Amino acid sequence: MNKDLKREIEIPSGVEFSINGNDFVVKAKGKEIRKEFDIGRVIASVKDGKIVLEAKGATRRESKMIGTIWAHVKNMIKGVQEDFVYELEICNVHFPMNVKLNGNIVTVKSFLGEKMERTSKVLPNVKVDIKGSAITVSSHNIEAAGQTAANLEKATRLTGRDRRIFQDGIFITSKPGGLI
């Protein structure tokens, strides 16, 4: 059953938003987030301080696409106003780990007594702060911050060992949205 769908997003004051074809750009406070969507039959426009996403005779595909674009644009607008922050904890039971930031690479030494270093990539425009056993990852782009936090967690992933015994690693303890 096809029907006309329409969703609107209010643009806050101090935020610039522009649409150029499939390219969406949000600017505020010296921060810029640019994202390209394959919008298909969805019509995106800026009218009267609102972002309007609409589709005439929308199928399920267009309905899902409107919801996805709507969620991404809301995160982009929120991101240029305040940073997204992920908190991670360095946990070690057996061997003390050394975690250091070198440029855009985080190096983990002595993980479970291993001689080889494990590394994790920090994406552009992401700030990583390591203090003791706490790591804070922050960025105005939620996707970059989330991927960097996931890279840190994945760098100390264990396979082939009992997780009940080998509990060492770097784990996400808090993220935007509150759910873990």
With tokens 């009992």, the residue in question is: 162
Q: Note down the domain range covering 72.
A: 3-81
Who contacts 113 (Cβ-Cβ below 8 Å, separation ≥6)?
A: 94, 95
pLDDT of residue 58: 85
Q: Are residues 140 and 163 in the same domain?
A: yes
Residues 143 and 73 occupy one common structural domain = no
- H helices then E strands: how many in the chain? 2, 13
pLDDT along the chain (180 residues), means of 10: 86 91 91 90 90 90 91 93 94 88 92 89 95 94 95 90 83 84
Contact between 150 and 137 under an 8 Å Cβ cutoff? The reply is: no
CATH of the domain at 19: 3.90.930.12
Using a 10 angstrom Cβ sphere, with 0-12 exposed, 13-18 middle and 19 or more buried, the burial of residue 143 is middle
